[in-house]
């Protein structure tokens, strides 16, 4: 049996079932990485001719077409189990790379599937949050249709170490098959579901493979996975990047075969430090979990693009458009502590003082009721002179200001690169700041913020051109031109960067 399709409800699953000449051979299932397809296993399958091999394309990848509106692990699991049922496969080894590896963790750590063994390639369930956020922010710069083709050019050199024209073409074609919305949906799905503790639930023998030259998933992080696996082993492949099965297929096959022969041997070192290390890793995992939980407990106030207040992941409803409620909250959130006289000048500048004082009392009462209905009866503290929010909150405007302030002091390219990425992530593509606010103070504040952004980006983009990071340089130049469309020198540099991107 060769290339085939399984038609299932809203999807047509593309797969290839390569059967060994030996009818009694074991089966290996190969699940490809994010943005790729099953053809990326072509170098490894040559090493496994004595096995039955099942390869398939995930939804939105390769030639598997179907509904990808809101992908979840449940949907991908349903596709996978339908394929197993169709081919009558109930015993197998599972090898996954990237997305396929994270899917494998879900299969055996979440859904309780059974297999003879699991091999995870090129991933880690331990990754510092700030680094994963930076990686996600950078890839999202390609989410515009005109930038998306550059994703392949960005990713391929990072995941292959021993490059050849044939390998480059293989991956380039794969990236151009994946649906853009699917790629970014699955990045976020992986980020939300990655967990060290989930590895503890995988009972089957598991081999973790990483590349010595992988610039993203460093060997240090990869080896931490096996600590949490009840029956886990790790191997770092020399002279290989993320796709070890393309860089070093012979070595991968040799290690895999050795792993199968010794998969039930207890090879983990046993020393008097083991308990200490176990305790350390457990505390590390717990602290990451607590940090994530503490962020969930904060009130989130969003002002930059569309106004909303979020409590425990849910939007706080209320009559925000009455009695200047959202404007008053925004002013308090941005300024932290506010004098009563400031409020009179901003909100009721033309009213006599007694009338303005009465308007403030009414507005405060209305805003307090919204907070009380959301479970925060003491959210605003007042005295005779000033007011302030008495809640633990984060505000996108304050975060953007802090990022701009930090970036303005940086001259080191790697640090500036990271800060610019974070700032671009905060800015909406249409750059319409404060669309829900019309008071004069907010319009003035908007101009002030725009000037800060223009100054920073004008100072920064030449350094990005110097380091040949034309994609981010273009992003900054586009934003400057939206604010200052008649700046001729910026226009010239924008055309120059476009030429560089077209040449690439």
What is the CA 297 to chain-centroid distance, rounded?
21
Domain made up of 299-391: CATH architecture: Orthogonal Bundle (1.10)
pLDDT digits (tens, 9 = 90+) for 124-177: 876 555 555 566 666 666 655 555 567 788 789 889 998 999 999 999 999 989
Phi, psi for residue 251 in degrees, rounded to 5: -65, -40
The SS3 of residue 386 is: strand
Calculate ∠ Cα 65-71-72, nearest 5°.
130
CB atoms within 10 A of CB 339: 12
Strand partners, 235: 209
H-assigned helices in 88-164: 99-109, 129-140, 150-159
In this predicted structure, the answer to whether residue 30 has a pLDDT above a threshold of 50 is: yes
Phi, psi for residue 195 in degrees, rounded to 5: -155, 130
pLDDT digits (tens, 9 = 90+) for 97-129: 999 999 999 999 888 888 999 999 999 876 555
**456/445 Cα distance (integer angstroms):** 17
pLDDT digits (tens, 9 = 90+) for 435-482: 999 899 999 999 999 999 999 999 999 999 998 888 889 989 999 999
Q: In the predicted model, what is the mean pLDDT of residues 42-64?
A: 96
Q: 3-289 in CATH: which number?
A: 3.40.50.1820
Q: In terms of pLDDT, which residue wins out, 226 or 374?
A: 374
Provide the pLDDT confidence category of residue 328 given band limits of 50, 70 and 90.
very high
- For residue 337, the 8-state DSSP code is E
Q: For the purposes of burial, counting CB atoms within 10 Å of the CB of 37, is it exposed (0-12), middle (13-18) or buried (19 or more)?
A: buried
**Terminal CA-CA length for the chain:** 41
Q: Which residues contact 294 (CB under 8 A, 6 or more apart)?
A: none
Q: Check: CB of residue 16 under 8 Å from CB of residue 83.
A: no
- For residue 317, the 8-state DSSP code is P
Residue 135 is predicted with a pLDDT of 62
Phi, psi for residue 202 in degrees, rounded to 5: -95, 105
Q: In the predicted model, what is the mean pLDDT of residues 71-87?
A: 94
Q: What is the CA radius of gyration of the chain?
A: 27
**203/183 Cα distance (integer angstroms):** 30
Provide the pLDDT confidence category of residue 294 given band limits of 50, 70 and 90.
very low
488-495's contacts with Cβ under 8 Å and 24+ in sequence apart are: 490/458, 493/461, 493/462, 493/465
* Average pLDDT along the chain: 87
Residue 279 is predicted with a pLDDT of 56
In this predicted structure, the answer to whether residue 17 has a pLDDT above a threshold of 90 is: yes
Of 135, 117, 244, 243, residue with least CA distance to 187? 135
Residue 472 is predicted with a pLDDT of 86
Residue 432 is predicted with a pLDDT of 83
Burial 39-72 (b: 16+ CB within 10 A, else e): bbbebbbebbeebbbbbbbbbbbbebbbebeebe
Residue 98 is predicted with a pLDDT of 95
Strand partners, 207: 119, 233
Q: Match 């083991």 to its residue by tokens.
A: 274
What's the token pair of residue 67?
């509904």
Provide the pLDDT confidence category of residue 329 given band limits of 50, 70 and 90.
very high
Residue 293 is predicted with a pLDDT of 43
The SS3 of residue 232 is: strand
Q: In the predicted model, what is the mean pLDDT of residues 337-342?
A: 94
Helices 470-483 and 440-466, interaxial angle, to 10°? Answer: 150
**454/274 Cα distance (integer angstroms):** 53
Q: Got the DSSP string for 78-100?
A: HHHHHHHHHHT--S-EEEEETHH
In this predicted structure, the answer to whether residue 500 has a pLDDT above a threshold of 90 is: no
Q: Check: CB of residue 363 under 8 Å from CB of residue 324.
A: yes
DSSP E strands in 159-238: the ranges are: 206-211, 232-237
pLDDT digits (tens, 9 = 90+) for 217-265: 888 888 877 778 888 999 999 999 999 999 999 999 999 999 999 876 6
Residue 282 is predicted with a pLDDT of 57
Whole-angstrom CA distances from 202 to 91, 178, 288 are 16, 30, 21
Q: Check: CB of residue 30 under 8 Å from CB of residue 55.
A: yes
**499/486 Cα distance (integer angstroms):** 20
In this predicted structure, the answer to whether residue 266 has a pLDDT above a threshold of 50 is: yes
Provide the pLDDT confidence category of residue 1 given band limits of 50, 70 and 90.
low
């Amino acid at each position: 049996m060769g290339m085939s399709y399984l038609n299932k409800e809203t999807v047509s699953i593309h797969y290839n079932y390569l059967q060994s000449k030996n009818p009694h051979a074991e089966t290996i299932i190969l699940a490809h990485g994010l943005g790729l397809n099953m053809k990326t296993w072509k170098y490894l399958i040559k090493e496994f001719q004595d096995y039955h091999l099942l390869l398939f394309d995930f939804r939105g990848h390769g030639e598997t077409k179907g509904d990808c509106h809101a992908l979840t692990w449940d949907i991908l699991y349903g596709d996978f189990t339908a394929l197993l049922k169709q081919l009558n496969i109930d015993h197998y080894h599972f090898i996954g790379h990237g997305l396929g590896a994270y899917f494998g963790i879900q299969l055996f750590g979440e859904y309780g599937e059974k297999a003879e063994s699991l091999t995870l390639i090129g991933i880690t369930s331990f990754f510092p949050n700030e680094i994963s956020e930076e990686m996600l922010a950078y890839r999202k710069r390609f989410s515009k249709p005109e930038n998306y083709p550059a994703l392949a050019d960005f990713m391929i050199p990072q995941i292959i170490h021993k490059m050849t024209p044939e390998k480059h073409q293989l991956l380039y074609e794969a990236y151009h098959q994946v649906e853009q919305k699917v790629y970014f949906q699955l990045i976020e799905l992986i980020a939300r579901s990655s967990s060290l503790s989930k590895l503890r639930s995988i009972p089957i023998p598991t081999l973790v493979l990483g590349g010595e030259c992988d610039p993203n998933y460093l060997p240090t992080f990869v080896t931490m996975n096996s600590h949490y696996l009840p029956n886990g082993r790790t191997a770092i492949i020399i002279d290989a990047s993320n796709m070890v099965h393309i860089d070093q297929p012979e070595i991968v096959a040799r290690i895999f075969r050795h792993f199968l022969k010794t998969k039930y041997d207890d090879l983990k070192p046993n020393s008097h430090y083991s308990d200490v290390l176990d305790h350390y890793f457990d505390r590390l995992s717990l602290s990451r979990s607590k940090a994530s939980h503490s962020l969930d407990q904060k009130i989130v106030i969003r002002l930059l693009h569309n106004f909303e207040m979020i409590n425990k992941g849910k939007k706080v409803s209320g009559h925000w458009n009455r009695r200047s409620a959202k404007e008053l909250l925004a002013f308090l959130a941005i300024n932290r502590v506010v004098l009563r006289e400031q409020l009179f000048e901003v909100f009721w500048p033309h009213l006599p003082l007694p009338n303005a004082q009465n308007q403030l009392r009414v507005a405060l009462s209305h805003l307090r009721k919204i907070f009380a209905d959301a479970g925060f009866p003491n959210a605003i503290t007042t005295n005779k002179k000033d007011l302030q929010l008495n809640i633990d909150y984060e505000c996108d405007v304050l975060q953007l200001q802090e990022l701009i302030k930090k970036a303005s002091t940086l001259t080191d390219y790697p640090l500036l690169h990271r800060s610019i990425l974070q700032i671009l992530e905060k800015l909406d593509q249409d750059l319409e700041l404060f669309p829900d606010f019309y008071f004069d103070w907010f319009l003035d504040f908007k101009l002030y913020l725009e000037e800060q952004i223009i100054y920073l980006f004008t100072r920064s983009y030449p350094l990005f051109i110097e380091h040949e990071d034309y994609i981010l340089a273009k992003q900054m130049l586009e934003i400057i031109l939206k604010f200052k469309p008649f700046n001729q020198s910026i226009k010239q540099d924008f055309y120059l960067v476009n030429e560089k991107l077209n040449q690439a």
